[in-house]
Amino acid sequence: MVKLSVVMSVYNGAADLPATLDSIFAQSESDFELIVVDDGSIDATPAILAACTDPRLRVVTQANSGLTRALVRGCGEARADIIARHDCGDRSHLDRFRKQLALFTNDVVLVSCATAYEGPGGEPLYVARANADDVQRSLANDDVDHIRGLTHHGSAMFRRDAYLAAGGYRPELYFAQDLDLWVRLAARGRIAIADEVLYTARVDVNAISATHRPQQIETAKLILAMRDEPGRAAELLARAATIRRPRRGRSRRAEARALYFIATCLRTQRDGRWRDYARRARARDPLFLRAWALLVRPR
């Protein structure tokens, strides 16, 4: 049996998939399987996966069902005792698997690491770090305004037996499926987080987390209510299951906010490329006044 099962969902990720696969197959810890769930891609994703000759790759194909259901499928296929998450478009650093696996001692059930975030063009934005004890306490006690989780969904590793005992990813949830799982895993054992940056995540202005924040927050509130009122779990989960993407798609304001966020990060880094993102935010939503203010604000 392999030491690690890496689970990744891909939907129309052809542009970023090769670099992500390269970072995974180059890992210093080579004893793993990579389970890629192709969630109904209609671009070159299937061809890229079919052309990969690494025997550690296992491809699961399904009709487009969304991230949560793809992760349920992928984790259900996992054969190792430890499952690692990965997102298409992100990169694992050379020693990520080896160093995170070493943190699974005693009663540790969930492991993460520091994550470097970069813009759509590879621009360095910021590094997210977290203290394991703080995250553990937060997941058990905090409300939606103060909750702290892992540095990135894709940075996670967790014990397969704990995942199954906790109930796994819940297919009813379209949003915040990572927070939901972390809350339930944290109740079953300790969390460990490496302070070293071992994962790099790409910020996508069209990602769910960037363009559907109200739905993310609404779902998170219900997840925390399920934590605090387990007797109401069925009722609250049913309510959470009704929260889906609006049929009208992404809003211009949400995309402008995402572009503005990237611009502010780059401005803090004194990276002149911030102006392009601020101008794009202004163009995407001319009534988004913060983009205008950023462009005229003195340095």
Tell me the mean pLDDT in the region 82-106: 97
Structure tokens at 188: 């079953």
Quote the CA–CA distance of 279 and 283 in Å, as a whole number: 6
Q: For residue 3, name the pLDDT band (cuts at 50, 70, 90).
A: very high
DSSP 8-state secondary structure symbol assigned to residue 273: T
Task: State how beta strands 82-85 and 57-62 pair.
Answer: unpaired
For residue 207, the model assigns a pLDDT of 72
Which residue ranges make up each domain of the chain?
4-204, 252-296
Quote the CA–CA distance of 91 and 96 in Å, as a whole number: 10
Q: What is the CA radius of gyration of the chain?
A: 19
Tell me the mean pLDDT in the region 71-79: 98
**Which of 103-112, 129-138, 192-201, 290-299 shows the lowest mean pLDDT across its residues?**
290-299
Q: Is the pLDDT of residue 208 over 60?
A: no
Q: Is the pLDDT of residue 249 over 70?
A: no
With CA atoms as reference, report the closest residue to 263 among 114, 127, 123, 129: 123
For residue 124, the model assigns a pLDDT of 96
Quote the CA–CA distance of 233 and 210 in Å, as a whole number: 27
Does domain 4-204 match CATH 3.90.550.10? yes
Distances 31 to 185, 198, 209, 224, 247 between C-alpha atoms, Å: 25, 18, 32, 36, 43
For residue 178, the model assigns a pLDDT of 98
Q: Is the pLDDT of residue 68 over 70?
A: yes
Model pTM score: 0.95
Cβ contacts of 277-285, under 8 Å, gap ≥ 24: 277/119, 281/256, 281/257, 282/256, 284/252, 284/255, 284/256, 284/259, 285/252, 285/253, 285/255, 285/256
Q: Is the pLDDT of residue 248 over 80?
A: no
Residue owning tokens 């970072």: 23
Which amino acid is residue 25, in one-letter code? F
Quote the CA–CA distance of 4 and 79 in Å, as a whole number: 8
Tell me the mean pLDDT in the region 172-198: 97
Q: Is the pLDDT of residue 200 over 80?
A: yes
Q: Is the pLDDT of residue 148 over 70?
A: yes
Percent of the chain with pLDDT over 90: 90
Is the Cβ–Cβ distance between 110 and 186 less than 8 Å? yes
